[in-house]
Amino acid sequence: MAIYEINGGHPLNGSVTISGAKNAAVAILPAALLVSGKCRIENVPDISDVHILLDILRGMGADIRFPEPHVVEIDSTAVHCTEPDKNLVQEMRASYYLMGALLGRFGRAHVALPGGCNFASRPIDQHIKGFLALGAEVDENEDYVALKPGPDGLQGNRISLDMASVGATVNIMIAATLLPGQTIIENAAKEPHIVDLANFLNTMGARISGAGTDTVKIRGVNSLQGGTYAIIPDQIEAGTYLAAVTAVGGNVLVQNVIPKHLECITGKLQDMGAKVIPFDDSIRIIRSGRLRSSTAKTRPYPGFPTDMQAQVCVCMALANGTSRMTESVYETRFFGYCSELESMGARISIESKTATVVGVEQLHGATVSAHDLRAGAALVIAGLAARGTTRVQNIHFVERGYENLIGKLTALGADIKRIEE
């Protein structure tokens, strides 16, 4: 089993290029099942979640080709399977988007409940609510979800989500694209990858409006045709490198980003003492001197993202004074990584949904274990900032969402290696 070995204390300097957005890719690839003919998807991140999803699609009969790096061509004409491989589905959370894609294309689906990061219960009740509103009959148990048309068939409808669920918004958008009538999603999620999915589907011939607002309208079309689409840069990968420079120190140009998508992150890092200089498609971040304490509360976009909670918590652990981080999206996300940070010398106490972080001047190396994707990234950042050697275990979580992490960090001056044990 592989680990990361990090010798900390080296400032980060240079430039890093951000890959395509994981959260957009894992929604767009299943949505390609709706397309008649070949679609070419560019700026696809080379990460394990994408590989698993492409293996699932290939096993269902899709023709998948890689004409050049970070480009995938998908032709799903030959797909007739409505029950994707259970074992592969259970390896990643976003495989639940296959439910919406299969329901939209075939009117039925039988999909195992997904796996992925295990930091909260993350129920799919809002997804089910959407499928029922579209006219599906739902058979759900602890192992799978089965969907088929109800007595009145499948058609568009008005759906008001009880919470602004990203996953439910994506699944309903995909499912409704080829259904007759109009679907309106109220209290929709607004994250950048929701907009990216809508733009992909519209490029292929869908009629979706309002993505990025709290009301999304999908007017059903008869078919989608092939085309070419480039995935947006990864907001959270970019935020992770920005947080790394903030924690470790240095001067880095983060390239291939959409600065507006990052304002919810850069604003917090500026509050803590980092200097942030945005350009058209890049951001320079500079940090020298001790960080200041701060407070943050995770919220749906455009608020501070839950997927950056752990990385910024490392910055708080090194700041002067007492900081507070409140998690309002996933109630148990603190558990796991905070105790790992404490083993490195961090001072963190948790009460209900708030972590109180008393900053220390220096973390020290330790052997720590990743429990989910973003917590794993936070432990890497902590290792980069710490004195001595840090060994990060369970790195398969990290490699679900970060392309070429070792190469990118090494190019910035970090001393980090991937070691097979």
List residues with catalytic annotation: 117
Secondary structure class of 21 (helix, strand, coil): coil
In terms of Cα–Cα distance, which of 384, 64, 54, 103 is closest to 244? 384
- DSSP structural state of residue 364: B
Q: Is the torsion defined by CA of 31, 32, 36, 41 positive or negative? A: positive
Two tokens, residue 375: 């917590």
The strand ranges marked E within 182-280 are 182-186, 207-209, 215-219, 224-225, 228-230, 250-255, 275-278
- DSSP structural state of residue 298: B
For residue 302, whether the previous peptide bond is cis, meaning omega lies within 30 degrees of 0, is yes
Find out whether 275 and 267 touch, Cβ atoms under 8 Å.
no
Rounded to an integer, what distance in angstroms lies between the CA atom of residue 116 and that of residue 152? 35
